[in-house]
Chain A
Amino acid sequence: MSRLRGKKDLNSELNLTPLVDLFSTIVCFLLIAAVWVQVSALEVKQSYGTKGAPSKVQNYELNIKYVNANNIRAEFKRGRRKRVVKATGADFDLALVDLNAKIKGWIEKNKKAVIAAAFIKPKRSIDYGQLVSTMDVLRQNNLSNIGIVKIGDR
Chain B
Amino acid sequence: MAVIGAQSLDTGNFEHHLLARSQKKKSHKKNIMVSLMLTSMVDMFSMLVCFLLITFSSNPEVNVLNGVELPKANSGVAVKEASVLAISKDELFLDQERVGSIKKLLRNPRPLARRLSKLKKNWKELHPGVEFTGTMNFQADKSVSSITISTIMGILTGQQFNIIQMATLPGGFSEKTK
Residues of A that sit less than 8 Å from B by CB: 9, 11-17, 19-20, 23-24, 26-27, 30-31, 33-35, 37-47, 93, 96-97, 100, 122-124, 126-133, 135-137, 139-140, 148-151, 153
Could you say which of B8, B49, B59, B156 contacts A13, with CB atoms under 8 Å apart? B8
Q: What's the A-B contact tally at a CB cutoff of 8 Å?
A: 196
Interface of A: prevailing SS: mixed
Is A46's CB under 8 angstroms from B166's CB?
A: no
Nearest-Cβ distance from residue A63 to partner chain B, whole angstroms: 14
- Which 5 pairs from chain A and chain B are nearest by CB? A40-B76, A129-B142, A122-B146, A30-B52, A139-B75
**Docked complex: B1-25 residues within 8 A CB-CB of A:** 4-6, 8-9, 11, 13-14, 17
Main secondary structure of the interface of B (DSSP, over half): mixed
Q: Known: A23-B45, A34-B56, A124-B147. Is A42-B165 also a contact (CB below 8 A)?
A: yes
Q: Beyond the given A23-B46, A122-B147, A129-B143, please list 5 additional residue pairs across the A-B interface where CB-CB is below 8 A.
A: A12-B8, A124-B146, A128-B144, A132-B73, A136-B75
Most buried by A among B62, B73, B137, B142: B73
Stretch at the interface among B26-34, B110-118, B123-131, B167-175: B167-175
**Is there contact, CB below 8 Å, between A41 and B174?**
no
Q: Within 8 Å CB of B66, what residues of A?
A: none
Judging by beta carbons under 8 Å apart, are B162 and A45 in contact?
A: yes
